[in-house]
Amino acid sequence: MGESERERERENGDDEGDESATKRRKRERKSFVVESKTFEIVAEEKRGKIQVAIWEKKKGIFSWVRLGPKSLGFFLESLDHCIKDGKGGKWEREWKESGRSYSLVRNENKAGFFLSWGWSIWRRNGIVLYPER
């Protein structure tokens, strides 16, 4: 079934369209591009809790991190602070959630500021985000 057919069913009040719209509301996807990288943010409700995953894609290579409630709160607070704080400088925040260690670092170079997100179970992994001001 094509997207236009689904839209028509929703407009006509068909129950099937309402059901798929409800399912769709439980998962949100947003993406943005920075230079040659694509970042996709997926928010999904599972068992009454919101989970967020951030995917980094470049030339067929994928890396991702899944955020629980505590990590999501730290991430959003830090992202907000990065965007609103016009001053330069580096800061770092570390915490643990579900047996994993996380770190979020704000740093700056000639191109501007960036957030570096790191996590580890046995080895160090990471993702770099470039928020717009």
Number of structural domains found in the chain: 1
Residue 83's domain spans which residues?
A: 3-129
* pTM to 2 decimal places: 0.51
CATH number of the CATH domain containing 17: 3.30.2450
pLDDT at 21 over 60: no
Backbone angles phi, psi at 59, to 5 degrees: 50, 45
pLDDT value for 18: 47
- 3-state SS of the chain is CCHHHHHHHHHCCCHHHHHHHHHHHCEEEEEEEECCEEEEEEEEEECCEEEEEEEEEECCEEEEEEECHHHHHHHHHHHHHHHHCCCCCCEEEEEEECCEEEEEEEEEECCEEEEEEEEECCCEEEEEECCCC
Q: Is the pLDDT of residue 35 over 50?
A: yes
In tens, the pLDDT along 36-82 reads 888 888 888 888 888 888 888 888 888 877 777 778 887 777 777 76
- The CA-CA-CA angle for residues 9, 10, 11, to 5°, reads 90
pLDDT digits 0-9 by tens, 79-102: 777 667 666 677 788 888 777 777
